[in-house]
Structure 1
Amino acid sequence: MKRLFLLILPLFAAVAAQAQRPTDIWYFGQQAGLTFAEGNTPKPLNDGKMSTYEGCAVATSAKGELLFYTNGQTVWNREHRVMPNGVKLMGSGSSTQSALIVPDPGSGNIFYIFTVAPEGTPNGLRYSIVDMTRDNGLGDLPRVNLLLIQPVAEKLAAVRHANGRDTWIVAHRWNSNAFVSYLVTADGVSAKPLLSNVGSMNAGPGRNAIGALKFSPDGRKLAAALWRETNKFEVYDFDRTTGKVSNPSSFGPFAEAYGVEFSPDGSKLYGTCNGVGGGQTEIWQFDLKTKDKLLVGKSANRKIGALQRGPDGRIYVAREDNPNLGVIQKPNLLGKECLYIDEGLKLGGRRSKLGLPAFVVIP
């Protein structure tokens, strides 16, 4: 009997861990959604109420249950109703990474929604506070649109601090080469950022603010897509203790670079680009050790956008106004062995736009 118990215990632990992944539920695009909760095969969700052209974010409980989701302007609770004060947030559904949700490390009930405005406009980087004890446990926002810095590009990423408790939220100043790193602790959001002046300027016409920012799975690398005039992807080192960004390198030119994502093992970076004005949709793989760049896929879609690594280890590709996502099936593998499938995942009749949900990276 004791031996049977010992055999069952690891299985129970594995099932429990499976149920607690914070990235199992996605809402995005034209009321599209996915759940990865039932094994590693994502299934469409058709209950979402959000429409967003680009950025979005989802919050779940420690058990992996839906709490709320947002496009950076409106916040929907787990019953898919707008929270009482969940309107007029100063992000934008047309900002690449309009919203990112960070839990308060000192509370299981408080969450911060960080938002960035589109095209370097004055609303800048702000945050709003969600209190899940309000509205009978469905959540409400006691404070909204608290300004951190302005203006900023459309880039927003978050990673767990090296202490395993706090979280770094990283954005990029507009008309500047400065990354800004804010620390979220049990005391709240730091008032002043750490500035890292490194890499290319994010400047020029407002459209140059377009492009994603992502952390590697171990949190030691940061990658950015620089759109239109800059036309490239940049990779940096990141210090999870200090929040400092350093040591830039780049790949380019790639016209209208937009999405970025790292492979699960962190050895490769993927990027999407559309060509000037769209119509030349390509997915590139960059080997971070050899610096080789390889074209690994093209899409029949006129535009593709965000890349997002799923809890199943695949990378999903947003295809504008399409009922399917593209899928990179084996992103750790070199070149076309990564196996990109353009119509890789049906969305149950809903449609993708250019965005996929952003999450905190937890190494």
Structure 2
Amino acid sequence: MRTIFTLLVLLTMLPATAQKHDEIWLLGYGSNAGNSSFGGTVIDFATNPPDMYYEYRSMNFSQVNASICDTSGNLLFYTNGIYIANALNEPMENGQGLNPGLHAQQNQEYGYILDQGAMILPAPEHDSLYYLLHMDKELNLTQTSFQSSHFYYTIVNINDNNGLGKVTSKNQALITDTFHKGKLVATRHANGRDWWILVRRYGTNLYYKVILSVNGLINLGIQSSGNAIPSNSIGQAVFSPDGSKYANVHIAGYAGDPIYVSIYDFDRCSGTLSNSIQFTYADTAWCAGIAISPNNRFLYVSSFRYIYQYDLQAPDIEASRITVAEWDGFAQNGSFATTFYLAQLAPDGKIYITSNSSVSYLHVINHPDSLGLACDVCQHCVELPTWNAFSLPNFPNYRLHHLEGSPCDTLRQPPTSAWSYDAQALELAFQDSSYHDIRAWHWDFGDGVTDTVPHPVHTYAAEGVYNVCLTVSNPRGADTLCREVQVLINIVADTEGSISVSISPNPVTNGVALLQLEALVKLDNPQVIIRDALAREVLREPLRVVAGKVQQEMKIGHLAAGVYFCSVEDSGVVVWQGKVVKQ
């Protein structure tokens, strides 16, 4: 006798892990024990609508506002440009003394005043290191305007101090030059792992191209694009959610002076700006913000009393402008105007806009993917538990992955698990066929045994149903593929040479197949059995033996097209087995 095993497979895919680094937003002033209107506001986007609540904390946010969560949405640390606080709202070890200089000295209690003056990025291929990118703010030599002179980075290892983190490197100047102040933004490289950062030289059309890769921060030099833009201005910069566009808005001068809008194509593979579209407009604004819709089509400019929508797919983007909101005149306590300032796309797909004065409200664009008034700007509709001094967190799109079809799409994120096997009795040889830069393997054979090699050989002790899983991972993610495996032990008589069976036609095209059998041994109770790929019995018929021979039709027209397993059994013993194909 010899033993035959049939393994049947059911496929289950597990969802990929979401990047929830921006799920918690922190706003507000340092807490005042005697007045709960001044304190910390937390907006948690883990729920829809987001959960919003008061939090007692010491940090006071002005304009600089950067924070980061882990991939599950748990807050890790945050900064106001003066110091870094951990998840317990305590100063992180070595986190004091950011941005050395006069401006930081003058704003120790208030917070650094610089629009988009900081941003936090996870270090590529590292699960515990984070880069805080930040810029300083200084008066120029003639004391007539502000500029940034240093593009700094500070490194946090969040695993230190039992997960509360420690600053391991601080105020490292990657580039020293005369920069336009703030406007720090980033987008994913086309490989889905690295990050691009752009910083503009003061009063020019020259942009430093910086990449954060596994080798750290690297300055790749300067590129020029479009016309020069005035500096010493208030405004904001943004990448589109898909990273294909870079845009900024600048107000230089006074109300009624030109407001500069610049839009560029961005190559996520090379970090290159191109095809600049630049125009100006004038209204009563003396502050402005900018954001792009989740579908990458609509550009929103928040311009003090107005919010404008531009269609980035229009032949003439400047002419596509629609005024989607005009300030309704609401002022908190009759004095603090809720006009429009900085904007930020949130995890819930809405765009939130702060005011340029201290108020306890945010504006929201509920449907930013919609054209014109259908975008639904709701003024001062988000009431905060505390007052907020025009601060809004500065986040990139952490959820952006590799660019499909790009020549730089060489890493693929996240990995994809795939495997197959060959069976020889109880011994199974598993073959890994996963792809996208696999660095580690973890097999679970469903019987309490595991392995970490790519192509293991495993022997089962008995028949049964086993849930076999392969988890593959690389520094950018993990994926698990599970298959429910049913091991059946069929006893097969050693009848080699004594029984011959043929099925014709095979493949079966008209729903009827002729089974012909010739046996040199006596068959007592023969039956033909057909099973599908999941070992489910779909046909069982007795065979009529005349003088050691069988000629019998099998009617399988009711079966779906596919490959089926056919066996001839006699008194429970398999004497022959093969396959039949139904077309």
- Give the equivalent residue in structure 2 for 1:176: 204
Task: Give, in whole Å, the separation in 2 of the partners of 1:309 and 1:201.
Answer: 27
- Give the equivalent residue in structure 1 for 2:236: 212
Q: What CA deviation, in whole Å up to 9, does each residue of 1:316-339 have, x standing for no partner?
A: 011231111001111111111111
- Give the equivalent residue in structure 1 for 2:155: 129
Q: 1:220: how far off?
A: 0.3
1:265 partnered with 2:290: no
Task: Give, in whole Å, the separation in 1 of the partners of 2:313 and 2:375.
Answer: 17
Q: Is the 8 A contact 1:228 1:257 kept in 2?
A: no
3-state DSSP class of the match of 1:322? strand
Q: 1:141 aligns with which of 138, 157, 167?
A: 167
Q: Is the 8 A contact 2:263 2:276 kept in 1?
A: yes
Structure in which a larger fraction of residues adopt strand: 2
Q: Is the 8 A contact 2:94 2:167 kept in 1?
A: yes
- Give the equivalent residue in structure 2 for 1:353: 389
Q: What CA deviation, in whole Å up to 9, does each residue of 1:15-53 have, x standing for no partner?
A: x64xx5222101134333211012343423524543222
Q: 1:311 aligns with which of 322, 347, 357?
A: 347
Q: Is the 8 A contact 1:173 1:202 kept in 2?
A: no
Task: Give, in whole Å, the separation in 2 of the partners of 1:352 and 1:265.
Answer: 29
Letter in 2 for 1:186: V
Cα gap change, 1:297 to 1:122, in 2 (>3 Å): closer
Q: Is the 8 A contact 1:175 1:201 kept in 2?
A: yes
Q: What CA deviation, in whole Å up to 9, does each residue of 1:180-238 have, x standing for no partner?
A: 12111111111x2342212343445x3x2x22111101100011011124512211111
3-state DSSP class of the match of 2:373? helix
Asked which structure has the greater CA Rg, the reply is: 2
Letter in 1 for 2:117: S
Q: Point out where structure 1 has 5 or more consecutive residues left out of the alignment.
A: 275-280
5 Å-filtered alignment, 1:75-86, equals: 75-86=84-95
Q: 1:302: how far off?
A: 5.4
Cα gap change, 1:48 to 1:243, in 2 (>3 Å): farther
3-state DSSP class of the match of 2:85? strand
1:115 partnered with 2:115: no
- Give the equivalent residue in structure 1 for 2:417: none
Letter in 2 for 1:138: L
Q: 2:121 aligns with which of 102, 109, 117?
A: 102
Q: 1:339 aligns with which of 370, 376, 388?
A: 376
3-state DSSP class of the match of 2:62? coil
Task: Give, in whole Å, the separation in 2 of the partners of 1:101 and 1:63.
Answer: 16
Higher RCO (CA < 8 A, seq sep 6+): 1
1:21 partnered with 2:20: yes
Cα gap change, 1:74 to 1:335, in 2 (>3 Å): same
1:330 partnered with 2:359: no
Report the count of equivalent residues. Answer: 342
- Give the equivalent residue in structure 1 for 2:140: none
Cα gap change, 1:323 to 1:302, in 2 (>3 Å): closer
Q: Is the 8 A contact 1:168 1:184 kept in 2?
A: yes
Cα gap change, 1:257 to 1:298, in 2 (>3 Å): same
Task: Give, in whole Å, the separation in 1 of the partners of 2:290 and 2:221.
Answer: 23
Q: 1:167: how far off?
A: 0.8
- Give the equivalent residue in structure 2 for 1:159: 187
Q: 1:94: how far off?
A: 1.0
1:57 partnered with 2:60: no
3-state DSSP class of the match of 1:180? strand
1:36 partnered with 2:31: no
Cα gap change, 1:98 to 1:83, in 2 (>3 Å): same
4+ runs of 1 displaced by more than 4 Å? Answer: none
- Give the equivalent residue in structure 1 for 2:261: 233
Q: 1:244: how far off?
A: 0.9
Letter in 2 for 1:294: I
Q: 1:288 aligns with which of 297, 301, 312?
A: 312
Task: Give, in whole Å, the separation in 2 of the partners of 1:175 and 1:252.
Answer: 16
- Give the equivalent residue in structure 2 for 1:193: 220
Structure in which a larger fraction of residues adopt helix: 1
Cα gap change, 1:98 to 1:212, in 2 (>3 Å): same
